[in-house]
Amino acid sequence: MSASGAVEPGPPGVAAAPSPTTALAPAPGRLFRPISAEDEEQQPTEIESLCMNCYRNGMTRLLLTKIPFFREIIVSSFSCEHCGWNNTEIQSAGRIQDQGVCYTLRVRAPEDMNREIVKTDSATIRIPELEFEIPAFSQKGALTTVEGLISRAISALEQDQPTRRANKEAIAERIDEFIVKLKKLKHVASPFTLIIDDPSGNSFVENPHVPRKDDALLITHYNRTPQQEEMLGLQAEAPEKKPEEEDLRNEVLQFDTNCPECNAPAKTNMKLVQIPHFKEVIIMATNCENCGHRTNEVKSGGAVEPLGTRISLHITDPSDMTRDLLKSETCSVEIPELEFELGMAVLGGKFTTLEGLLKDIRELVTKNPFTLGDSSSPGQMEKLQEFSQKLDQILEGKMKVHLIMNDPAGNSYLQNVYAPEDDPEMKVERYKRTFDQNEELGLNDMRTEGYETGLVPQR
């Protein structure tokens, strides 16, 4: 069963020439301002446009905003005072991400129906228990909740039922039965699974349990297929010519890019660095002269290791905060004493110190937009304050905890201050990856033999 598309009979409006009396001047400062109920200067732009229901003029309101730690978005709302028709939708204003993302949410309680969701046009929604699917590009993007997604699907199925009952009564009865099943999901009579698969990587599902791990939510990043690349309008990359081998260890390479904050032209510096007792890594740093934003990222300079690496450090002294640390994009971080786990790809790759990593974690969890302001639930602020206080105690050396870095690719590193001797407070384990870990790293389908001729060698 699938929902064909948008609830609305048409787009929010075909923009006519903006009226000088209704268009508002953009708010001062940056084009995309962080979303906040306390920002009184953040006002929508109003444009008089055509109503596609009664063909008279209505009003379209556009709000360019940014969800902290997520993406820039455009929220549009159309209303017609003549016929009362209205429509609201959301569009991603950021660039398409390097990888697609799939959110698998196990809905077990009525509280899960209130989770905030950002759904883009390219996202596919599935409920396996009902064999129900909403295809990509069949609905407009939306900033809603789990309950809102189901309600929107119910409305989409109900809107053509009068016509079906007149022409195809049997099909209409089957759809009525299916609508009853969807309405039962809103009351969570039994647990069900909601899957949001977005090749653009711009959809989002809220974790209401931050800073703790959400056991009901599984986030998977994946490489897009050629069909998904074509669906998103991305051109396939032309085969690159093999460059001549050069020694880049003593050179800093520079290339043009755009600032991730203000999108202004900027420069990115790249350097190949050898970490003692480890391997080569690539450090990339971007500095924007327009807005002052600075960012750095670390990529592994070598191949995926044959075995995964799990590094456990018992933090017992303030001097441990000065240990050099390399966290790759495939590395997860866990602090068992705080019941905290940082998943893969969060914070990206970093070459910093242990102190720097803990400060980045504190900033990430304490500034989550869904735990602040009107959207926060009772008790969340107290949990975040308690979590922040414990992190401060760890940074000051007043609390002893264990830090676990788990990297299936084996490309993460934590400095051994006793090198070349063993560190009594640090344990490094090598382990064989599971099938799921190889699948997430894209290793199960990787061929290292016979790929030039397209034939698998005979064994």
Instruction: State the sign of the Cα–Cα–Cα–Cα dihedral 22, 28, 31, 34.
Output: negative
283 or 431: which leads in pLDDT:
431
Give the mean pLDDT of 439-453: 72
How would you class 276 by CB atoms within 10 Å of its CB: exposed for 0-12, middle for 13-18, buried for 19 or more? exposed
Q: What is the pLDDT of residues 210-228, one digit of tens each?
A: 778 888 999 999 999 888 8
Taking the model in full, what pTM does it have? Answer: 0.49
* Residue 312: pLDDT band with limits 50, 70, 90: very high
Given a cut of 50, whether residue 9 has pLDDT beyond it is no
Residue appearing with tokens 């327009």: 290
Full domain range(s) for residue 261:
253-300
Are the C-beta atoms of 268 and 288 separated by less than 8 Å?
no
Give yes or no: residues 219 and 276 share one domain.
no
108 or 454: which leads in pLDDT:
108
User: 95-109, 139-153, 324-338, 343-357: which has the minimum mean pLDDT?
Assistant: 343-357
Given a cut of 80, whether residue 367 has pLDDT beyond it is no
Give yes or no: residues 138 and 228 share one domain.
yes
* Predicted local confidence at residue 212, as pLDDT: 82
Q: How many CB atoms lie within 10 A of CB 246?
A: 7
Given a cut of 60, whether residue 70 has pLDDT beyond it is no
E strand spans, 27-171? 33-34, 45-50, 57-66, 72-79, 86-92, 100-107, 116-119, 124-127, 132-134, 142-145
Q: How many CB atoms lie within 10 A of CB 442?
A: 11
Give yes or no: residues 81 and 106 share one domain.
no
DSSP SS3 for 343: coil
Give the mean pLDDT of 294-307: 76
* Predicted local confidence at residue 382, as pLDDT: 79
Number of structural domains in the chain:
4
β-strand partners of 284: 270, 297
Distance CA 221, CA 433 (A): 18
Token pair of 127 as six digits: 């409920």
Are the C-beta atoms of 45 and 111 separated by less than 8 Å?
no
Cα 260 to Cα 96, 263, 286: the distances in Å are 12, 6, 9
* Predicted local confidence at residue 459, as pLDDT: 40
Give yes or no: residues 50 and 88 share one domain.
yes
Distance CA 392, CA 107 (A): 34
Give yes or no: residues 104 and 151 share one domain.
yes
* Predicted local confidence at residue 20, as pLDDT: 37
Phi-psi region of 55 (alpha: psi -120 to 50; beta: other; left: phi over 0): left
* Residue 275 domain-assigned (yes or no): yes
Distance CA 120, CA 297 (A): 27
Distance CA 437, CA 443 (A): 9
Token pair of 142 as six digits: 């939306």
Residues 6+ positions from 378 with CB-CB distance below 8 Å: none
* Residue 328 domain-assigned (yes or no): yes
Give yes or no: residues 289 and 314 share one domain.
no
Q: How many CB atoms lie within 10 A of CB 330?
A: 22
H or E element, residue 212: none
Given a cut of 60, whether residue 13 has pLDDT beyond it is no
User: 46-50, 69-73, 217-221, 313-317: which has the minimum mean pLDDT?
Assistant: 69-73
Residue 278 DSSP code: S
* Predicted local confidence at residue 26, as pLDDT: 43
DSSP SS3 for 340: strand
Given a cut of 60, whether residue 14 has pLDDT beyond it is no
Distance CA 341, CA 333 (A): 6
Distance CA 39, CA 16 (A): 29
Q: What is the pLDDT of residues 323-344, one digit of tens each?
A: 988 888 888 899 999 888 888 7
* Predicted local confidence at residue 140, as pLDDT: 80
Give yes or no: residues 312 and 437 share one domain.
yes
Give yes or no: residues 127 and 189 share one domain.
yes
Give yes or no: residues 410 and 335 share one domain.
yes
* Predicted local confidence at residue 104, as pLDDT: 94
Are the C-beta atoms of 83 and 51 separated by less than 8 Å?
yes
Q: What one-character-per-residue DSSP string does 378-429 give?
A: TTHHHHHHHHHHHHHHHHTT-S-EEEEEEETTS--EE--TTTTSPPTTEEEE
Cα 76 to Cα 143, 155, 290, 458: the distances in Å are 11, 20, 28, 59
Give yes or no: residues 139 and 228 share one domain.
yes
DSSP SS3 for 359: helix
Question: Final residue of a domain: which of 92, 119, 142?
Answer: 92
Given a cut of 60, whether residue 2 has pLDDT beyond it is no
Residue 320 DSSP code: G
* Residue 197: pLDDT band with limits 50, 70, 90: very high
